[in-house]
A and B are shown apart, each in its own frame.
Chain A
């Protein structure tokens, strides 16, 4: 009887001792869901100003260009996005407003394009890019027939169209 009791105690002691010496581990799990939608965003900064003031005698008034006042930025996570531009109403007779956008890496700029009410491609093949501080150049051409043009503004609308 005594021997059995001692054996039980020994077993109990062994159980406790065994439990106290080993590392304890616990696991848990959690499910995380994520995704990325198609993103096509552009932003423009700056207030460009174009003033034609002179001409070479015998030639049309001298065109002016502003390539310092404005910049643009783009983010797209698609392939083959493009930028177009348009103005809400045609320029006055004899006046032409053109714009050129510096292309982000890997994309293609169409150079100076005359603006009208019909959207025109400025930059194409923009693929999975996020770049800022890209150059925007505006140019104003005038014929003598345009006459004197008082200070005016034109709102240029740029649109990024996503690719695939």
Chain B
């Protein structure tokens, strides 16, 4: 009877901890804000590349598992127009490594690696939209950047 009670208690505690985990996920990634439209309208005369930078948005990351194997990857919804690039730098959380600036494409690429246990930090993101003269006039358009946080315990 006592054994059964102990088992019940343990199960209850375990259930409770499972419920807690579901309520507050051990990994979390969110991006905050939308970058302002990056429109190139001038150049340094005679220089091959023109660019516009946006550093107004941030991301939030939480990784409860102290594995050091957390990675944030990013990919675009469609290729960039010829002659243009969209690069991204994400400020790494403590102990992590930034691989930026990373030229984004439709292939998922790591932007931050070695994410350690992180209780939750809001960190800066910097986009750079660049174009060469060969790109010509590029009509205003959008891409969706999909971020994926993978944390292996």
Name A's B-contacting residues (CB within 8 A).
1-2, 5-6, 8-13, 15-16, 19-39, 41-43, 73-79, 128-133
Alpha-carbon separation in the docked complex, A90 to B15 (Å): 94
Residue in A26, A30, A39, A79 whose CB lies within 8 Å of B25: A26
The tally of CB-CB contacts under 8 A between chains A and B is: 194
**Contact of B150 with A by CB under 8 A:** yes
Measured between beta carbons, the chain B residues less than 8 angstroms from A79 are: 136
Q: Are A36 and B138 neighbours in the complex by a CB distance under 8 Å?
A: yes
Measured between beta carbons, the chain A residues less than 8 angstroms from B52 are: 34
**Contact of B34 with A by CB under 8 A:** yes
Q: Are B147 and A24 neighbours in the complex by a CB distance under 8 Å?
A: no
**Given A26-B149, A30-B31, A35-B141, is A9 in contact with B7 using a C-beta cutoff of 8 Å?**
yes
Residue in B14, B40, B132 whose CB lies within 8 Å of A37: B40
**Given A27-B149, A28-B30, A76-B133, is A2 in contact with B39 using a C-beta cutoff of 8 Å?**
no
Measured between beta carbons, the chain B residues less than 8 angstroms from A25 are: 27, 148-151
Alpha-carbon separation in the docked complex, A109 to B123 (Å): 52
Alpha-carbon separation in the docked complex, A74 to B18 (Å): 65
Q: Mark B135-148, 1 if CB is under 8 A from A, else 0.
A: 11111111111111
Q: Mark B1-25, 1 if CB is under 8 A from A, else 0.
A: 1011001101110110110010001
Q: Are A29 and B145 neighbours in the complex by a CB distance under 8 Å?
A: yes
